[in-house]
Amino acid sequence: MHPVHEAMLQTRRDFLTSSASGIGLAALASLLQRDGLLAAPNPLAPRAPHFAPKAKACICFYLEGAPSQLDLWDPKPKLNELHGQKLPDSMLKNVRFAFIQKEGARLMGSPRKFTKHGQCGMELSDFLPHLATCVDDIALIRSMHTEAFNHHPGQLMMNCGVPTFGRPSMGSWITYGLGSESDNLPGYVVLTAGRGSSGGATSWTSGFLPTTYQGVLFRNQGEPVLNLNNPEGLSPEMQGKTIAAITELNRQHLIRSRDPEINSRIAAYELAFRMQAAAPELLDLSTETKQTLEMYGVDRSDPNIQAARGGGKGQFHAFAKNCLLARRLVERGVRFVNLYHASWDHHSNLDAELGHNCLMADQPVAALIKDLKQRGLLDTTLVIWMSEFGRTPLGENRPGFAKVTGRDHHPFAFTLWMAGGGVKGGTILGKTDEIGWNVVEDPVHVNDLHATILHLFGFDHKRLTYRFQGRDFRLTDVGGNVVTKLLA
């Protein structure tokens, strides 16, 4: 037994038998019961959704910056043919770009080689050899579109359903709706690898929902949760005694003041202690087999290549470890895991930078899907790969660039995918036009995506609401239709 628990139990026993305490625990319990104080609601208690869910947990990859769909997911032979040509003025007339100068902008083909994979015949680029082996579990959406074309507003849109501040993120909504299955870890966990992203902490905000539903940042080494470790020199035994005393003193006060909030406080301290034991255990990979570690590539080091926009040193290891931790979190009942990785904003040097990032991400993400599947968790775990928008078929010609080697922000058509958790594997949804400029078939708006995700978790997106400022708000704002073609 963990020393904290042991000490707490011991002190409880002391408390129960001690005449000096003035009141026995049994008597206390009955007093509390009588006053209805034991029933203080736990905001993270598991709750049933509107109808039987397919997904119980979510692992959401956020590749911040907007990976190029034209070089990964959406092959465009015609674009390659038209490489170097102008777009007709009529197509450019009402478009705003972040950096492209309309004058002189030219289409840019992709040097990537696309091949068909799996039974479904999904075409993927040669940057994704591992994910190519998972395509029959993946539902690819080539027809995403959004409303924002700058990073931070785009990220707010993707995470919170509107491109403005103040709304809860998807993870917060789902945790608010379902509570958590874990007794000793938070319901919504965020892991990051590499450098910080545009949105920073606003990406996992709980907005107007209580802070209880905010994403809790975990670190993949050292102290996994902020302030998890006891002060230097304070042993677990001392911690146990401290918590036991705090609890008993709080109970004494509860009897006098009868404020149910004190009960929640006691519960919060107890959860904090359980977390002190559970979170380090989470990071301890010694129970994982060598085969598993190799499959995820946890011990890979960064390749020695020039990648100026990359997310910093050590990220090959960090990203792979996060993928494995995501599985471990879900196994331990965590509801929503957000994995962030920044530096997919390839305005220049796209081939090298995107190749570098894919080398980092492809293997561990594929490993996670396979690992979840072999453990029977994929059916109930929704895996999502997303970003804020896509990239332009036009090469980026911003002033000062010597050569055109990258693509600009493109909100009109981009690709993301989901796997597991009740989505139909092997689906290829939607089509873009010949150059990937616009969606021509099965458009999926961000609100539609969110409606579909909530549906997988058993929610009617129009009924998962929170009243704030006189209005019932929802993740899908005033839009959203469930994309039934994606459902298994």
Partner 1 sequence: MKPIGLATICGGVVSAAVLWAADPLSRPAAAGLPPAAPGTIDFERDIRPIFAAKCLSCHGAEKQRGGLRLDHGKAALEGGNSGVVIKPGDAAGSRLLRLVAGLDPDTRMPPAETRQSLSAEEVGKLRAWIEQGAVWPTSDEAVATQIPRSSHWAYQPIRRPTPPVVQHREWPVRNAIDQFILARLEQEGLTPSPEADRNTLVRRLSLDLIGLPPTPEEVDAACADPSADWYEKVVDRLLQSPHYGERWGRHWLDAARYADSDGYEKDLGRPNAWRWRNWVIDALNRDLPFDQFTIEQLAGDLLPNATLEQKIATGFHRNTLTNREGGVDQEQFRVEAVVDRVNTTFKVFLGQTFNCCQCHDHKYDPFSQREYYQVFAFFNSDVETDTPAATPDEQKIYDQQKAAFDRKRGELQRAIQDYKAQELPAKVEAWEKALTEAERKKLPADVTAALDVAPEQRTEQQRQLLINHLAKTDARLGELTKALTAHERTAPKLPVAPILTRGQPRKTHVMIRGDFLRPGIAVEPNTPAVLPPLRPSAASGSGPTRLDLARWIVSPDNPLTARVIVNWVWHKYFTRGIVPTLEDFGTQGEKPTHPELLDWLASEFMARGWSLKELHRLIVTSATYRQVSHARPELLQRDPYNALLARQSRPRLEAEILRDSALAVSGLLVRRIGGPSVRPPQPAGISELTYAGSAKWVESTGPDRYRRGLYTWFQRTSPYPMLMTFDAPDSNLCCVRRERSNTPLQALTLLNDTVFVECAQALGARLVREKATTAERLRHAFRLCLAREPLPAEMDILSRLYDGLRHSAAADPAAAAKLAGQVPPGVEPAEAAAWVGLARAVLNLDEFLTRE
Q: Which of residues 425-484 bind partner 1 (CB under 8 A)?
A: 437-438, 443, 445, 447, 469-471, 477-480
For 223-256, letters b (16+ CB in 10 Å) and e give ebbeebeeeeeeebeebbbbbbeebbeebeebbe
CB distance 225 to 279 below 8 Å: yes
* In the complex, least distance from residue 45 CB atom to partner 1, rounded to whole angstroms: 14
Question: Which residue, 107 or 271, is less far from partner 1 as judged by CB?
Answer: 271
Single out the residue of 16, 25, 228, 352 in contact with partner 1 (rule: CB under 8 A): 228
Alpha-helical regions (H) of 193-305: 236-257, 260-283, 290-296
Q: Does 93 bind partner 1 (CB under 8 A)?
A: yes
**Quick one: residue 458, left, alpha or beta (phi over 0 = left, psi -120 to 50 = alpha)?**
left
Task: State which of positions 53-92 bind partner 1 (CB under 8 A).
Answer: 90-91
- The answer to the question of residue 381 lying near partner 1 (CB under 8 A) is no
Site for partner 1 in 280-339 (CB under 8 A): none
What's the token pair of residue 260? Answer: 């149910």
Closest among 72, 174, 64, 203 to 125, alpha carbons compared: 72
Minimum CB–partner distance for residue 399 and partner 1 (Å):
12
| Two tokens, residue 125 | 């680029």
- Name which of 125 and 203 has its Cβ closer to partner 1: 203
Q: 428 by DSSP, 3-state: which?
A: strand
> Which of the residues 249 through 278 are near partner 1 (CB under 8 A)?
249-250, 252-253, 256-262, 264-266, 268-269, 271-272, 275-276
Identify the residue whose tokens are 């609601």: 41
Given candidates 175, 198, 363, 392, which one binds partner 1 under the rule CB under 8 A? Answer: 198
- Rounded distance, CA 186 to CA 337, Å? 10
Contacts of 168 (CB under 8 A, 6+ apart): 160, 176, 205, 206, 207, 208, 209, 213, 466, 475
Per CB under 8 A, the list member of 12, 80, 83, 202 interacting with partner 1 is: 202
95 binds partner 1 (CB under 8 A): yes
Among 119, 227, 287, 291, which residue interacts with partner 1 (rule: CB under 8 A)?
227
Exposed/middle/buried for residue 66 (C-beta within 10 Å: 0-12, 13-18, 19+): buried
Interface pick for partner 1 out of 180, 212, 322, 415 (rule CB under 8 A): 212
Q: How far is the CB of 287 from partner 1 (least distance, A)?
A: 25
13 touches partner 1 (CB under 8 A): no
Cα distances (Å, whole numbers) of residue 370 to 99, 150, 329, 367: 39, 34, 16, 5
- Least spacing, CB of residue 421 vs partner 1, in Å: 25
Binding partner 1 by CB under 8 A: which of 6, 14, 284, 441?
A: 14
Residues 6+ apart with CB under 8 A from 155: 62, 64, 197, 198, 199, 202, 203, 388
52 CB neighbour count, 10 Å cutoff: 7
The single-letter code of the amino acid at 210 is P
Following DSSP, what letter does each residue of 254-274 receive, concatenated?
A: HHHH--HHHHHHHHHHHHHHH
Interface residues for partner 1 in 336-365 (CB under 8 A)?
342
Q: Does residue 195 interact with partner 1 by CB under 8 A? A: yes
Q: Is 242 one of the binding residues for partner 1 (CB under 8 A)?
A: yes
Between residues 387 and 447, which has the closer beta carbon with respect to partner 1? 447
Give the residue with the Cβ less far from partner 1, 202 or 405.
202
Residue 10 CA to residue 218 CA, distance in Å, equals 31
Which is closer to partner 1, CB of 14 or CB of 299?
Answer: 14
Residue 80 or 150: the one with the smaller Cβ distance to partner 1 is 150
How far is Cα 487 from Cα 191, in angstroms, rounded to an integer?
28
Tell me if 231 contacts partner 1 by CB under 8 A: yes
For residues 80 and 438, which CB has a smaller minimum distance to partner 1 in the complex? 438
CB of 379 to partner 1, least distance (A): 30
In angstroms, rounded to a whole number, what is the distance separating the alpha carbons of residues 183 and 270?
Answer: 10
134-153 binders of partner 1 (CB under 8 A)? 145, 147-153
Judged by CB under 8 A, the stretch of 79-87, 101-109, 407-415, 416-424 that binds partner 1 is: 407-415
Residue 429 C-beta: closest distance to partner 1, Å:
14
Q: How many beta carbons lie within 10 A of that of residue 285, not counting itself?
A: 14
The residue (of 94 and 119) whose beta carbon lies closer to partner 1 is 94
Residue with Cβ nearer partner 1 (119 or 232) = 232
Instruction: Confirm or reject binding of residue 36 to partner 1 (CB under 8 A).
Output: yes
Residue 226 makes contact with partner 1 by CB under 8 A? yes
Binding status of residue 237 toward partner 1 by CB under 8 A = yes
Closest separation in Å from C-beta 205 to partner 1:
7
Q: How far is the CB of 424 from partner 1 (least distance, A)?
A: 22
